[in-house]
Structure 1
Amino acid sequence: MSAKQNRFKSSKPRAERRPWPWGRVLSRLVLVLVVVGFLYGVERLGSQLDAIPVERVVFAGDLRHVSREVLVERVTRHLAVGYIGLDLEAIQQELEEEAWVYRAEVERLWPRELKITIVEETPIAIWGDGGLLNHRGKIFVPLKGQRVNAELPVLEGPEGSAIEIMRQYRLMSQLLGDERLQLVRLEMSARGSWRATLNGGAELVMGRQEPLEKLRRFLWVYRKELAKDFERVKRVDTRYVNGLAVAWREQQASKNG
């Protein structure tokens, strides 16, 4: 029985040695090489794209006050990085630092062109002694020597008051327009006192409180008493509670005499 058992035990097959998985190792090695090659190719392609220069810069828009040469100079500072590396937002901000540039739109045009659309400021008034005011209440200062439309109204006031003065100017202009009077200058003092100048040179002193109501009171008196001889009016003071005071210009006869 024991010999039989020994023969049985010796008949068990030995464990087979597994072959080394060369195919799997080789496939993984190939995959690694492909990935490395791909990354290297992407890097080389990126460096080549970065080296692509900007061959042409095109400006669009109606440039009446902005110097094209100045715009070119500002843009040129950003071109050294190449076509792909351009920081379009930085170029836009750079261009909008120009006084007359209201908005700049910058875009790439393939393959090597940069298109820049310029929207110039549209001033609605002269601000103080040397500034201009746009439609959103922003004050900008043009370069010395640039001509400004002399027919623009003049607005003036303390810092931060531009939008309020614009609002009052529009409301007052609507009221005066009914009588064909034109508001050519509107000022607010540091203490909040209002003074207006009409076409022909007549001044309206309106004080600090309710300037529109005082303007309506002036217009009522204008229709009743002043319209027929308004060219002789030098100043109208509306700060009185129940009336106004009129200062007259000197008679032409006394000037000649």
Structure 2
Amino acid sequence: MPIGLTVFFIVLTLLAFGAYKAYEWLQDEQRLPVQNIVFTGQLHMLDSMTLEALIRDRHQGSFFAIDVNHVHNLVEQQPWVYSASIRKRWPSSLYIHIVEQEAVARWNDDLLLNQYADSFAGKLTTDEQADSQLPVLFGPGGSEGTALKGYQHMSSLLKNSSADHSIAQLVLSERFAWTVQLKSNITLYLGREEYIKRLQRFIDVYPLLKEEKKAINYVDLRYDTGLAVGWGESDPTSQAETENNINN
């Protein structure tokens, strides 16, 4: 074998061995560990120490070995994370910017809704639930956007009225009929159609109802004109329940 070819194979072998040792050295967490994981963004429901422990447990390895795409997927799997961006910073830091979910309503008891009507499995502690002013929305799967938009429209109308009412709970049935429970414990049956006009009818007639000096159990507005009122002293399950029809 010519000397030149022998030298070539020797050099090639040395280069391959050197590349392997360099790779092995770069993968060694003991030599090049990720020393700092820095979180940025406004974190209220997330704990940075818990997130860091999760990342280090799932992604052990050196600064060069850690896969930012895998870290990104792991972080965005956490319920209270709306979005995240990850970048490495030489020589040993990982920077993670998080946009946290903003809960605007509770959804079907076991989920939360953000401002974009996306549901997520964020949990509230017992104390947080007690202090929370979040409305409770119920509806069939896939109706999150409809329910949230309806809540927002109705809340805006009530807020701009002279009556001091706000929504505690909203139910959208399988047939997309609206039922609203106010924080004053009045239940409004709005039906499927023209629910905003029907809610306005309640606002308009409420001063007359208030003059009765009796607690209102419910107001049924599922009429083309008029409404029915169930007074608080009545049994709402009774067929003999008192109803007052107030015609336009």
Q: Which bin holds the TM-score, normalised by the shorter protein?
A: 0.7 to 0.9
Once the 2 structures are TM-superposed, how far is the Cα of residue 210 of structure 1 from its aligned partner? 2.6
Q: 2:22 aligns with which of 36, 45, 48?
A: 45
Q: Over residues 155-205 of structure 1, what are the superposed CA-to-partner deviations in whole Å (9 max), with x where a residue is unaligned? A: 111111111100101111121112142222211122322100123111110
In structure 2, C-alpha distance between the alignment counterparts of 1:231 and 1:108, rounded to whole Å: 66
2:37 to 57, 77, 83: 57
- Do 2:27 and 2:62's aligned partners in 1 also have CA atoms closer than 8 Å? yes
Match of residue 246 from structure 2: none
Shift in Å, 1:219: 2.5
What root-mean-square deviation, in Å, do the aligned CA atoms of Structure 1 and Structure 2 show? 2.9
Whichever residue aligns with residue 24 of structure 2, its letter is S
Contact conserved, 1:200 with 1:231, CA < 8 A, in 2?
Answer: no
Distance 1:33 1:229, change over 3 A: farther
Q: Take 1:134 and 1:46, find their aligned partners in 2: how far apart are those partners?
A: 44
Determine helix, strand or coil for the equivalent of 2:141. coil
Considering fraction of residues, name the structure with more helix: 1
CA apart distance, 1:37: 5.3
For residues 28-50 of structure 1, give each alpha carbon's deviation from its aligned partner in whole angstroms, at most 9, with x where no partner exists.
88777766655554443333222
Q: CA deviation at 1:132?
A: 1.8
By how many angstroms is 1:154 displaced? 1.3
Equivalent position of 1:72 in the other structure: 52
Which ranges in structure 2 are unaligned for 5 or more consecutive residues?
235-248
Note the alpha carbon deviations across 1:104-140, whole angstroms, 9 max, x for none. Answer: 3222111011122233221101223233211121222
CA deviation vs aligned residue, 1:189-230 (integer Å, no higher than 9, x gap): 22322100123111110122232232222233235x235568
| Equivalent residue in structure 2 for 1:248, among 218, 231, 235 | 231
The residue number in structure 2 matching 1:226 is 209
| Residue aligning to 1:196 | 180
- What is the number of equivalent residue pairs in this alignment? 226
- Is 1:126 matched with 2:106? yes
**Alpha-carbon distance in 2 for matches of 1:195, 1:39:** 72
Which deviates more from structure 2 when the two are superposed, residues 88-97 or residues 234-243?
Answer: 88-97
Counterpart for residue 80 of structure 2: 100
Q: State the alpha-carbon separation in 1 of the partners of residues 34 and 59 from structure 2.
A: 7
TM-score for both structures, normalised by structure 2? 0.77
Note if 1:214 corresponds to 2:198: yes
After superposing the two structures, state which structure 1 stretch, 167-176 or 140-149, moved more: 140-149
Query: Percent same amino acid at aligned positions?
Result: 31
Gaps of 5+ in 1: 1-21, 252-257
Residue 151 of structure 1 corresponds to 133
CA distance in 2, matches of 1:143, 1:199: 21
